[in-house]
Structure 1
Amino acid sequence: MTTTSTMRSEIAEQPTALRRTLDSLLPRAGEIADLARGTSQVLFIARGSSDNAAVYGSYLLQAHAGRLATLASPSIATTYGAKVDLNGVLAVAISQSGRTEEIVDTLRWAADCGARTVGVTNGAGSALTEIADLSLVTEAGSEFAVPATKTYTTQLAALAVLALGLGADLDAGELRGVPAAIDDVLAMPEDGVDAIVERLVGCHGAVVSGRGMAFSTALEAALKLKEACYLHAMGLSYADLLHGPIAVVDAETPAILVAANSGPTLEGTVRLAERVTSVGTPAYAIGGGSALAGACDLAVATPDLPEWLAPFSLIVPAQLITEKLARRLGYDPDAPRGLGKVTQTA
């Protein structure tokens, strides 16, 4: 457990990457407002980790900016070639590289259907930036490990700025405080992370659950465990989990529960923890304060960020768990089998 992976190094770079990204993008909130004038809905176009970031953006815009926000089905454009009326829509394509053809082609299709377009990418000068009406280029720097870490959290930052530009009732000063909060997460003792890793060794599956703003974290944490640890991890809203799939959690399939330390979804997450542990299922908490920690077998604390910013800090322990578990299982977290940094969809 002493070897340092590239993934671990890039996890540690997130506070700096976030500071650079916020310095670059916050002054552009006015440009976003200008472009979006006359639009009322937002359509997110993404895949993989970027799609999970889009889930965060969707909750953020609907809860705080009063805009209907939905996730696109790129095959409507690239496979079916359907014509859809997108007048009054702001289409936001998210791609770490800016070179994924399916995402670029879908944003081009959205423009042809009448949408105004935004590209969110870490790839300055990429194809996505060339076709978007407005490009929000993150400042993550080069990311070499295949599992996205700093490119993911800087995408969250870009979407938080997008929300501010679209009139969200949120405090930009709170957003400025996120890098320091991530510094705090990285400085915390890793006893809780290590204990969860040891409990996951030998497990073939896990359910990762959260709701609201934290749902994006549940999806991304599950994706990381699948990508780097080959764990059959499912990311589910706790509302969906309670409607049947809760039967999959048992003594061999633990529940990893993520929640902000306060907010409207915390109480339900605590109730879910109590329910699964009552039938002998291990439950491990990321965030959720003392309430969730008290209902779970193991817990990793996170800073007291407002609920709308909690996904930034919640994902970091999940990244650390993934990186450590991969190495504990004898896998290379930097280069999972069958994956690359740019995925093209046939």
Structure 2
Amino acid sequence: MHQLTYGDVKTAADRIAGDIRPVTIAPVDPGAIRTAPRDPLDDRPAEPCEVHLALEFMQHTGSFKARGAQNFIRAHREAGTLPPAGVTIASGGNAGLACAWAAGRQNVPATVFLPATAPGVKVDRLRGYGADVRLVGTEYADALAACETFAAETGALASHAYDHPLIAAGAGTLMEEIQQRIPGLDTIVVAVGGGGLFAGVATAARHHGIRTVAVEPENCRALHAALEAGRPVDVAVDSVAADSLGARRASETALHAARQDGVISVIVPDAEIVRARRALWDHRRIAVEHAAATALAALTAPPHHTPDRDLPPGRRAPFRSYRPAPGERVAVVLCGANTDPGDLLNPVAPERT
């Protein structure tokens, strides 16, 4: 297994420069995010934390995935390993859209497999990017099997949504931009699914001495489960953010990054994800995916702790929120906005919790 390095991220940053949109940073109102409790004997004036939102949902295709997809295709073009059949991927989500977009930018054929149950709007967007869309079966597994067969029969280059060093390194370029725009940054907060974005961001953050907070939905915790088991394991997936963070297994690269110093794993319930997403709309008029709101929920969720004595031997309770210290500089990645904003625009629409 290739262990992701900061050199991989820097190479990716140089490779895709000019092909992606630089991230926009927006400060949060002072005092809007609560800080950690202070020492009661500390009589110095209270200092708020400093929180910034990294608006990566403004990226091409509406998510950070464009970075990794562009790095993947350009790296293979540089190496002369792009086959005439182009690239192929099984994904009806952000990874498929990014792959189709990046392929189109490089005039490379893209064949995207997704289940026949995929929303028509995603199919239309994929075709709008010039992809050859193949609808197969009713589940992602059906589309993946067809994609693998297609790659074997045609020689097309198979891409992956998150589990590839070029994909993760491309995602890590986001961290390079954020740390340049926020001098003295202490902490980066990022949502985790399969771990491509997290692995890239955490690798770059560690190089710069920046803490990474990895946030997962309570019922989509592939990375946290891998940390507990000491290896990637399959987990159940049942969350309002499962459309983007619903990987059943975290990558080895993500697990390796999570074991490094300066990484904190946080688990948040769906109700807090929904609340954070709603708050972004109410106070900022920002409509993001539940996956993006998952990162913010780590800062806005109330503290909750399960006593270790109530857990099985050898297990420790996960963090349920992250409280910055007074004066701490924090960036929260809002990673994507490929969502239906209807439930935000309609205040009486039911919210899944």
TM-score computed with the length of structure 1 as normaliser: 0.30
